[in-house]
Amino acid sequence: MFSNESRGGARGRPLVITAIVVAAALTGGWFVYDAQRGDDAGPAGAHGPSAGASATADAGRTTGSPVAHGDGATTAPALPDATSAAPRKELTGRTIVIDPGHNLGNAKHTAEIDKLVDIGTNRKACDTTGTATNAGYPEAAYTLDVAHRARALLEARGAKVILTYDGDRPWGPCVDERARIGNAAHADAALSIHADGAPADRFGFHVIAPKSVHKGAADTRAVAAPSLLLATTLRAHFQAATGEPLANYLGGKGLTIRDDLGGLNLTTVPKVFIECGNMRNAHDAAEMTDPAWRQKAAVGIADGLTSFLEGKR
């Protein structure tokens, strides 16, 4: 998705987020472009690669060393990053639910995923196909790979990790079922992993927290505040681990508060979404197709969840 806020200003990577920025984010949500991709934050129609994206969209961005392109295949979880390799059992007794956004089989089951489900504030499609890089690397492959990597790190720290699906079903699950899986597990925290499909000149990552709502099947009043804390904690650690800038199309805050996503509306446990980057942007796509960067993304996710559950920032 992208916001209606100003798109001006210099481009490039911001400094690693400071406590001041984190605190400022707690003041509330920002108006965001309404997505039509089911329960992820991409723009309307972002169901696959778009033609003609230009590498010039990435001009002016500080990239550091070149990022190698991967082969696009989902790989087995790599060993934990060296910064997280030491045995850690601080999450013993904790349950974490990770929701890898979309499913590679959804494109073959359009009738099923187009079925409307109740999200409390509205009715939305069961799920969507997700987006992809212009070279064809699917969001669903990215999300499942990073979920596997994050699971390995978190389990090494003693957590019980449940995936909403593990490549073991032909389509789905629907967005309402994804929320119910976290609820049924009485998760201490839940996270939905996504990648965006915004225009090619947009780049960076952002985190989405649930708005406090009480309508129909949706009641997030008890979890809105802890979810916002989870969002800001995750945001800081993901940026520290990956060096990815905050999304340049959301006013530079890297955080939105929404009430139109079933995966958040229907949660009864602290939960957020993370859009790890824009798959239509040349630089972000190069990162997300690189297994080494995906491992950094997993470290950022694991560290953010760990800090939240330990009551740290």
Higher local confidence (pLDDT), 252 or 119? 119
The band of 14, judged by pLDDT with boundaries at 50, 70 and 90, is very low
Average pLDDT over residues 168-197: 97
Query: CA–CA distance from 242 to each of 146, 172, 286, 288 (Å)?
Result: 13, 29, 13, 11
Least confident of 25-39, 234-248, 255-269: 25-39
Catalytic residue among 139, 244, 275, 287: 275
Q: What percent of the chain has pLDDT over 70?
A: 72
Beta strands in the chain (DSSP E): 95-100, 116-118, 123-125, 160-163, 189-196, 206-210, 214-215, 218-219, 255-258, 271-278
Higher local confidence (pLDDT), 78 or 100? 100
Average pLDDT over residues 263-281: 98
pLDDT at 36 over 60: no
Average pLDDT over residues 19-44: 35
| Per-residue model confidence (pLDDT) at position 252 | 77
| Per-residue model confidence (pLDDT) at position 257 | 97
pLDDT at 205 over 60: yes
The band of 76, judged by pLDDT with boundaries at 50, 70 and 90, is very low
d(CA 133, CA 289): 9
pLDDT digits (tens, 9 = 90+) for 123-170: 999 999 999 999 999 999 999 999 999 999 999 999 999 999 999 999
Higher local confidence (pLDDT), 151 or 64? 151
Q: Any alpha helices (H) in the chain, and if so which ranges?
A: 19-25, 110-113, 139-156, 175-184, 224-242, 262-265, 282-288, 291-309
- Phi, psi angles (nearest 5°) of residue 223: -115, -5
Report helix, strand or coil for 143: helix
H helix or E strand, kind and range, residue 46? none
Average pLDDT over residues 59-67: 36
| Per-residue model confidence (pLDDT) at position 177 | 98
| Per-residue model confidence (pLDDT) at position 306 | 98
- The amino acid occupying position 6 is S
- Phi, psi angles (nearest 5°) of residue 96: -125, 135
| Per-residue model confidence (pLDDT) at position 86 | 53
| Per-residue model confidence (pLDDT) at position 134 | 97
Report helix, strand or coil for 116: strand
- The amino acid occupying position 275 is E
Query: DSSP secondary-structure letter at 106?
Result: G
d(CA 271, CA 192): 8
- The amino acid occupying position 218 is A
pLDDT at 310 over 90: yes
| Per-residue model confidence (pLDDT) at position 164 | 98
Query: CA–CA distance from 230 to each of 21, 99, 236 (Å)?
Result: 15, 15, 10
Residue 275: active-site member? yes
Query: CA–CA distance from 190 to each of 26, 139, 193, 212, 251 (Å)?
Result: 19, 19, 10, 17, 26
| Per-residue model confidence (pLDDT) at position 4 | 31
pTM summary value: 0.74
Q: Are 264 and 194 in contact (CB under 8 A)?
A: no
Average pLDDT over residues 5-21: 34
